Chain A
Amino acid sequence: MRFRTLLLVTSAVAAMVAAAGFRFLGGAEVGSAAPAFSLPSNTGKTVSLDQFKGKYVVLEWTNQGCPYVHKQYGTGNMQATQKWARDHGAIWLTIDSSAEGKQGYMTADQATALLKSAHMSSNAILLDPDGTVGHLYGAKTTPHMFVIDPKGTVIYNGAIDDKPTTDFDDVKTAKNYVEAALEEAMAGKPVTNPTSRPYGCSVKYKN
């Protein structure tokens, strides 16, 4: 067996030793009950997931400074998806898990201003600066999308679409997984792509 050895303690090995600490496990799995949560919204009201039993609910993790989120909003694609979902009776909750001082952090007032200036159709922006709900769902990226059916079961966990880039032009040819999942589920069909690897910036959680 040939073997590559180096007369160095490499930074890779050192980093791995350091990485032996906390590692995330869990999250909202497709087919399982969506984890219950309550969060303050941009208007100051507390919003709980269980308020929406009987309706489809879309959860969208956002960070307005992230270039992948910028692609979705700069092209109007995310707003169009929000509007389509709302027009079909779904609830859309945009969640901000950026910690204070990190990219994408918003106060309630800033979130309210953003809903208007970005022409969003979300029911609310929920503020999760402690990252509790982000970790509960295993939200890894911005954007990262979840779809919950009227019984409260997770039916989609993954990316907004199949083009993991920051290029505006890619939106035109991308397959929108969230709209497809809603459309199929609402027609009583199984969801063809219930998971996809989410892409984007890491969620800027509190350390």
Chain B
Amino acid sequence: MLAFAALIALSPKATDYSKPALLSSSRACAPGRRFLVGLEFKIKPGWHVYWHNPGDSGQEIRVKWSLPAGWQAGPLMWPTPEVMLDTGFVNYGYEKQVTLLCWITPASRKGTIRANLDWLVCDKEMCLPGKRVVSLPIPTANASVTAIAAALERVPQPLRGQADARLAGKTVTLRVELPKGAKATEFMPFDPAVIHNSARQNVSTVGDSAVFKLDRSEYFDPKRARLRGIVVGQGASPHSSFFNEIDVPLERTSGG
């Protein structure tokens, strides 16, 4: 046990490779007028932090807000992650930089926002756990409008078309209606034990829909009733991409 403690004590720290900070979309605030706060991680090349579904390994960034009396925080908004493939296994996460977002509704004109963070940063050689409290006093000298707007662009929007999902045997079939010319490339599940993360995703186009054939996770919970996640792909115009959120019943059919 001492051997382990000594090894950890000598090890590099998570903050050497991933630096968290809080950003505000607004320099000042007023009671009841919500504004966006960003939790930014700057990540050294070769290292990554994890999405709320980390995939085959790793741990999501965990945030506990500590706010002035009466202030409220909305749910965390996560930009669409990258699919990272390492020795055959899949992780969902972020390299170089990510900014998670949260709407804050203040109850006064000044106060300090604190976030208690618990995260994991890894490269191909090692993983390091991070724990830190970051804070942001409001009013603040600098607003980070550009960084927050860029992060918001990568937060998935609900799909406006039709979607449905069916489980037959070990195969999940997800059908997603897309605009003409759009091409879906990947489905990223919100829940970690639904889809076999590293199985190849078979996507075909049927009429105006993309049809994904996905392998059920080896850790699949038979009681699971919904399929939730992000459909990612390329839009009709060149060099465009889309991230659309789906949340549909996972229907059962016999056979397969």
A→B interface (CB under 8 Å):
1-13, 15-16, 18-19, 21-25, 27, 29, 64-67, 70, 73-74, 76, 101-103, 114, 117-119, 131, 135, 138, 140-141, 157-158, 164-166, 195-207
CB<8 Å pairs between A and B, sample of 6: A1-B159, A3-B160, A5-B236, A11-B82, A67-B8, A195-B218
Q: Separation in Å of the A123 CB from the closest CB of chain B? A: 20
Quick one: which of A9, A15, A67 contacts B120, CB cutoff 8 A? Answer: A67
Max chain B CB contacts within 10 Å: which of A10, A119, A141? A10
B129 at the binding interface (Cβ < 8 Å): yes
**CB distance B157 to A4 under 8 Å?**
yes
Q: A23-B198, A201-B57 are in contact. Are A74 and B239 (CB under 8 A)?
A: no
Q: Separation in Å of the B160 CB from the closest CB of chain A? A: 4
B58 at the binding interface (Cβ < 8 Å): yes
Q: Which residue of A lies closest to B6 (CB)?
A: A117
Q: Report B168-201 residues with CB < 8 Å from chain A CB.
A: 177-179, 182, 185-186, 192-193, 196, 198-200
Q: Report B198-222 residues with CB < 8 Å from chain A CB.
A: 198-200, 215, 217-219
Q: Separation in Å of the A204 CB from the closest CB of chain B? A: 6
- Roughly how many angstroms separate A164 CA and B218 CA in the complex, as a whole number? 18
Which one, B66-74, B87-95, B103-111, is touching chain A?
Answer: B87-95
Q: A16-B186, A29-B218 are in contact. Are A118 and B4 (CB under 8 A)?
A: yes
Chain B positions within 8 Å of A196 at CB level: 219
- Roughly how many angstroms separate A94 CA and B234 CA in the complex, as a whole number? 45
Number of B interface residues at 8 Å Cβ cutoff, please give it.
68
Q: A200-B57, A202-B122 are in contact. Are A64 and B85 (CB under 8 A)?
A: no
**CB distance B235 to A3 under 8 Å?**
yes
Interface of A is mostly: loop
Q: Which residue of B lies closest to A119 (CB)?
A: B1
**CB distance A202 to B161 under 8 Å?**
no
**CB distance A140 to B128 under 8 Å?**
no
**CB distance B232 to A13 under 8 Å?**
yes
Q: A12-B80, A16-B185, A25-B199 are in contact. Are A141 and B239 (CB under 8 A)?
A: no
**CB distance B4 to A64 under 8 Å?**
yes
Chain A positions within 8 Å of B244 at CB level: 3-4
Q: What 1/0 mask marks residues of chain B from 237 to 256 whose CB sits below 8 Å from any chain A CB?
A: 10111111000000000000
Chain A positions within 8 Å of B177 at CB level: 1
Max chain A CB contacts within 10 Å: which of B2, B11, B200, B239? B239
**CB distance B82 to A5 under 8 Å?**
no
- Roughly how many angstroms separate A12 CA and B233 CA in the complex, as a whole number? 9
**CB distance A66 to B239 under 8 Å?**
no
